Homo-oligomer: A and B are copies of this chain.
Amino acid sequence: MARVSSLLSFCFTLFIFFHGYTAQKFPNECQLDQLNALEPTHVLKSEAGRIEIWDHQAPQLRCSGVSFARYIIEAKGLYLPAFYNTAKLSFVAKGHGLMGRVIPGCAETYQDSPLFQPGRGGQYDEGQGQEGRQGQGQEGRHGQGQEGRHGQGQEGRHGQGQEQGQRQSQSFRDMHQKVEQIRTGDTIATSPGVAQWFYNDGQQPLVIVAVFDLASDQNQLDRNPRPFYLAGNNPEGQVWLQGREQNPQNHIISGFAPEIIAQAWKIDLDLAHKIQKPNEKHGNIVRVEGQFSAIRPPLRGQRPQEEDEERRGGEGNGLEETICSARVTENLDDPSNADVYKPQLGYISTLNSYDLPILRFLRLSALRGSIRQNAMVLPQWNANANAVLYVTEGEAQVQVVNDNGDRVFDGQISQGQLLSIPQGFAVVKRATSQRFEWVEFKTNANAQINTLAGRTSVVRGLPLEVVSNGFGISLEEARRVKFNTLETTLTHSSGPISQGRPRVAYA
């Protein structure tokens, strides 16, 4: 009996071994017979918000080679600066706030103007934007070519005047790198290793979703997203990584010896200790008490082109205009810039490396869609990219078909859910609520869509004989298939569509 059991165990072992061996030798993470609308699997709570993380090891995300997260930052919440090992594309799903990135080696081009706020440190309010604007205008008048040197001069004076500064602690001024106002619809590209922070200066929660491209060359580590904190902490640990569940995650400065920090920053050891000891309860999103008076440009009203130009012109004409001032943000919610616009149906806007050249390096692009009830996005596939679709509002019926011709997804997706659509998989979407809005992130700087129906579709490009012979229909029927639909991307879908379980084979 024991021998039998033992033999059984042995055989099972062998089976497992060969199973494991085969699985290992022939990885096929895109052998997807069923997709799911995904919800976050981990929530990291912070003092003034939370970070929700999707499991990047779910088969469909593994196939797409991406990771996904949602940041919910409450009013007056500050998402402390952090950087990633991957390229990141973020989308502001709700609310508005401030965003700053620190690009290594670039100058601190945002400075308080001493003329306008003598001794007013910590007293700025939301109206400060006006002053900042005037200050900037003045900078511009000083002459663009001089700003760089001017800035360094200021900086030097500051540094040397430290003693003095300490005496009049209420009257110092600050300088830092660019700070941008962000609002719903903004899409933000971030390079790996570049630190970024967000601040919610509104009353509503600021909701940002972001995709991390694990599979591109930009990520030189393994296929895991790794946030590096420059401040704050994560008491719950990097729960989405194996073997990291136990340890709380601290900011990287806390990892050095205090003496190192004291010497590097030329501060006393007490302050170094203070900095290194993170407040374990706060997490990585902290609540700002009092004013948050970072210098910022005035809010973009309807994005007037002139002001935009002016603002850019005010940043100087030196070297920093190239990398340091590269645009990384574009708003996708303005229908006047839509690529497809049909008043009765909705609109679709795309963002690729022609719009935002930095995307060429990041190998990412985005698409924003907003359609009305019963509008249908004609069936299509991504030729050269994987996509993840995140619903920002409403719900839709979606069908996805894989390479085998099986319907691998057939159901509703609704606000807050994520759906992965791998390269080549065909997808159709139909709004089932009054409005369906979503954002798609794609793993190619110039993702191409092919449609199955409509004026620019693949059937239109095929000769009638190919359509006729391919589908076993008459030339006349083929002609209807080819020419009946005149629309390109969006059409009106009337009546309910039968819906059921995904079919794995035509029967």
Residues of B within 8 A of A199 (CB): 466
Closest B residue to A237 using CB positions: B404
Bound form: Cα–Cα A9–B294 in Å = 63
Min Cβ gap A397→B in Å is 9
Residues of B within 8 A of A104 (CB): 383, 448-451, 456, 458
Closest B residue to A178 using CB positions: B461
Stretch at the interface among A10-18, A134-142, A303-311, A364-372: A10-18
Give 17 CB contacts A-B under 8 Å: A9-B10, A30-B224, A31-B224, A78-B466, A84-B424, A104-B448, A104-B450, A162-B480, A177-B462, A192-B384, A193-B448, A220-B385, A230-B458, A231-B471, A252-B381, A252-B426, A257-B499
Other A-B pairs, 14, CB within 8 Å; known A28-B241, A266-B484 = A81-B462, A85-B424, A100-B461, A158-B483, A172-B475, A193-B423, A252-B402, A257-B410, A257-B497, A265-B484, A274-B471, A277-B506, A282-B472, A292-B465
Bound form: Cα–Cα A237–B165 in Å = 67
A81-B470, A485-B266 known; A383+B193 contact, CB < 8 A = yes
Q: In A261-287, which residues have CB < 8 Å from any B CB?
A: 261, 263-267, 271, 274-279, 282, 286
Bound form: Cα–Cα A21–B57 in Å = 13
Contact present for B249 and A405 (CB under 8 Å): yes
Does chain B have a CB within 8 A of A232? yes
> How does the 8 Å CB contact mask read for A392-405 relative to B, with 1 for contact and 0 for none?
00000001011111
Contact present for A162 and B264 (CB under 8 Å): no
Closest B residue to A247 using CB positions: B505
Contact present for A480 and B265 (CB under 8 Å): yes
Q: In A228-261, which residues have CB < 8 Å from any B CB?
A: 228-233, 237-238, 241-244, 247-257, 259-261
Contact present for A473 and B271 (CB under 8 Å): yes
Contact present for A81 and B458 (CB under 8 Å): yes
Contact present for A485 and B264 (CB under 8 Å): yes
Closest B residue to A102 using CB positions: B461
Bound form: Cα–Cα A426–B291 in Å = 32
Q: In A419-445, which residues have CB < 8 Å from any B CB?
A: 422-424, 426, 428, 430, 443-444
Bound form: Cα–Cα A458–B194 in Å = 9
Q: In A141-165, which residues have CB < 8 Å from any B CB?
A: 155-156, 158-159, 162, 165
A197-B466, A458-B195 known; A404+B244 contact, CB < 8 A = yes
Contact present for A2 and B6 (CB under 8 Å): yes
Q: In A456-507, which residues have CB < 8 Å from any B CB?
A: 456, 458-467, 469-473, 475-477, 479-481, 483-486, 491, 493-495, 497-499, 503-506
